[in-house]
Structure 1
Amino acid sequence: MPVNLKRVYDEADQHDGVRVLVDRVWPRGMSKEKAQLDHWLKEIGPSNDLRKWFGHDPDKYEEFKQQYKEELEEGDQQEELQKLKNLTKEHDKNLTLLFSAKDKEHNQARVLKEILDRQ
C-alpha cells in the first residue's frame, strides 16, 4: 500500500489513516480543528531558502527535488524524516502526507512519498 498525498485544504476522510502535515509553514486560513492532523512535522519541510528559490516553479522541480533530498540527509530534517519513516512503518503505510501547495505534482510531499514508498 503506497503512502497517500492530499492537500490539507481537502476534506478529511476515514481512508486517510494517520494525517501528517509536512509543511514548514502553517497553511494560510486553516484552523487546527479543520486540518484534523495527527502530526505536524514542520522541521521536515524544505529550508526557507530552498522553498523561496523553488517558488513552486515546475521547471525547477528536478533541481528542487535533488537539493531537498540533500537537506533531508542532515540536521533537523534528518531527524524528522526518521520520525516520518517510523510512523509509516508503525501504521503499515496507512498514512496521508498533507501539504498546502496548489501544485499537486511539484511539492515536497511528493518527494517524501517517493522516499517512503521505497522503504
Structure 2
Amino acid sequence: MSVSDQIMKGLLDGAILGLISHGETYGYEITEKLKSHQFPDISEGSIYPVLLRLSKKGYVNTRMVKSDSGGPKRKYYSISESGAKELKIFTEKWSKLNTGMNSLVRGDLNVK
C-alpha cells in the first residue's frame, strides 16, 4: 500500500463523519459526495468497511428504510453524540496537522 493510500485510509473516518454530521445519509450518497469534493479513487467498496467500523465504535447510528421503488432496504447513517465528539477531536487534530504540512510544503522552515 502506497503512502498516499495509507493517508487516504486514515482520513476517510474523519471525512465520512464530517459528511454524516450534515444530515442522515446512505453509502452510495456518501461515495458521490466524496467524489464531488475531489477525493480520489473512492468506491462504495472502500466506504462500507469504514461505515461498519464507525458503527461498531458507536460513532454513527443506523436505520434501515424500505425502498420506494420496491428494491432492497437501504441503510441510513446519522452521527451519534460520541461521533460528534470524535469529529471535533479529528477536526482539531487535522487543522494543526494541515497547518504544519502546508508550512513545510511552502518551505516556511523558520516558523516557530
Q: TM-score, normalised by structure 2?
A: 0.30
TM-score by length of 1: 0.29
Choose between structure 1 and 2: higher helix proportion: 2
Higher relative contact order, structure no. (Cα contacts within 8 Å, ≥ 6 residues apart): 1
Greater gyration radius: 2
